[in-house]
Each structure stands twice: as C-alpha cells, then as structure tokens.
Structure 1
C-alpha cells in the first residue's frame, strides 16, 4: 500500500507517453496528449520531492 501512489503515477506517465506517441503519428490529438504527459511527469516529480521533506518538530 505504501508504493501504490508511485505505481499509479508511473502507470499514468506510461499512458500519457503512449498517447503522445499516438499523437505524433496523428492518431490522437496532440493538444490533449501533451498536457497529460506534462501533468503526469510533474506530479510524479512533485510527489517524489515532497514526501521526504522535514516538517518540523
């Protein structure tokens, strides 16, 4: 259960990447796939950066 958010975020990035590849082949709209991939990578990096932060005493 501890690794569930990481697994879900990686899965979201893989889905966003595959949609972006389809968009580059002009099968899927590029204007939809690019923000999905960007949001997936951004939330993954934000989650990895935020979970080890010292919150005080």
Structure 2
C-alpha cells in the first residue's frame, strides 16, 4: 500500500514527460508543459525526501 503514491507519482512524471515531448514537437505550448514536468518531479523529490525524516523522540 505504501508503494501506491510513488507509483502514481511516477505515472504523473511519465504523462508529463510525454506532454513535454508533444511540446517539443510544437503540438502543445512548451511553456505549459515544462512547468508541469518540473512540478511533478519536485513533488516526487519532496515526497521521497520527507518519508525518512527524523521527527524526534
């Protein structure tokens, strides 16, 4: 069950990467697809970094 959010985030990155490829082919504006890819990567990094944080005793 803990792997489900990571799987969903990886799927979001894959979809945003495909959208970014469409942006590079000039099908979708690149200034819309690039922030989507950046935000999805940022959310994944923040999620993976926050899980193992020491919260004290």
Structure 2 Cα separation of the partners of residues 32 and 50 of structure 1: 27
Backbone CA RMSD of aligned residues:
0.6
Number of residue equivalences? 57
TM-score, L = length of structure 2:
0.95
1:9 aligns with 2:20: no
Report the counterpart of residue 47 of structure 1 in structure 2.
47
Structure 1: gaps of 5 or more residues: none
Query: Structure 1 residue runs of 4+, over 3 Å off?
Result: none
Structure 2 Cα separation of the partners of residues 52 and 27 of structure 1: 40
